[in-house]
Amino acid sequence: MKNREFRNMIIAGAAVTLITAVCSGIFLGLKTGAAVFLTGLVLIVIFIVYTKKRYEKIDKLNDYLVRVLSENDDNEILDQEEGELSILKTNIYKTTSTLKYQKELLSDEKKNLAAAIADISHQLKTPLTSMMVMNDLLVDEQDDNKRTEFLKTQSSQLNRMNWLIQTLLKLSKLDAGTINLKREEVSAAELIEEAVKPFEIQFDLRNISFKSDVSEMNIKCDKNWTVEAIQNIIKNCIEHMDDGGELSVSAVDTNIFTQITVRDTGCGIAKDDLPHIFERFYKGKNAGKDSVGIGLALSKSIIEGEQGEISVESSEGAGTKFIIKFFKTLI
């Protein structure tokens, strides 16, 4: 009876019942009036009992929402009954479950962000420390040869920092969805030629032979970003190859996809490292000292952003093969 609307409905029902019973008693007799009064009274009691149960269920829903807000939502509210109240229960449960799931995702994202910031700080700290030491040495160094050597080292560290920062910016843009990856017809031969061009001097200096088996075919992709992805893969291959090794790129065309394969004769990837090489800042046991562990992560983000697939096959001492698939039809 604390509910104002409920109390007003009871008063209104009682008033109508009394008026109807009195009128029936006057015009139709006392027995009829008494019957009408008793019938109205029974209906009011039934209404009170039924409505009270509904309000009790609504109170339970309210208690459930209070527990959800206090992060104590162990008790479920689902039942097998039918009716609009049961539908409301189901929808409330779906809503709270979705909010709980999103909260867990947000918590995971915060942890990943904290880990990424720690990794970035570590990667930037090393070259910064080196540059600070070199700068202190340059102040008092009189030997021109050593000064030149220190400046070259600083230049190398600056290039490394610039590459890391630029790569992180690209990754963050891809994650945020602010980059629109186009799907246009691109010549596979032209794509590979542009991706390999920056490494030609390294091939000559390290006596690495390069072979390309790419026939005339087109790939549906974003040319600039795909070149970036392939270059990161080639860079990774070169870093894990000895002088005099061999790097090859081939392409095949099927009815479903166009596939590019990059293969090297390097040291290979350990079995335990294979599932993780596309993870950000992951460095396997065969990684070089200057490896950051972010280039392959960027390649994966680009390829998957184009609705493609990238995978790797490798074993220690037997080289590595990267396989990229560009699907012709997207579902």
Where does the pLDDT of residue 176 fall: very low under 50, low under 70, confident under 90, or very high at 90 and above? confident
Contacts of residue 82, defined as CB under 8 A and 6 or more positions apart, other chains included, come to: none
* φ, ψ at 74 (rounded to 5°): -70, -35
Where does the pLDDT of residue 215 fall: very low under 50, low under 70, confident under 90, or very high at 90 and above? confident
Task: Please provide the average confidence, as pLDDT, over all residues in the chain.
Answer: 82
Q: How many percent of the chain have pLDDT more than 90?
A: 20
pLDDT at 291: 65
pLDDT at 253 over 80: yes
pTM above 0.85, yes or no: no
Where does the pLDDT of residue 62 fall: very low under 50, low under 70, confident under 90, or very high at 90 and above? confident
pLDDT at 309: 93
SS3 of 326, please? Answer: strand
Burial degree of 30 (CB within 10 A; 0-12, 13-18, 19+): exposed
SS3 of 7, please? Answer: helix
Where does the pLDDT of residue 184 fall: very low under 50, low under 70, confident under 90, or very high at 90 and above? confident
Upper half-sphere CA count for residue 92 (Cβ side, 13 Å): 22
pLDDT at 106: 81
pLDDT at 56: 79
Burial degree of 319 (CB within 10 A; 0-12, 13-18, 19+): buried
pLDDT at 289 over 80: no
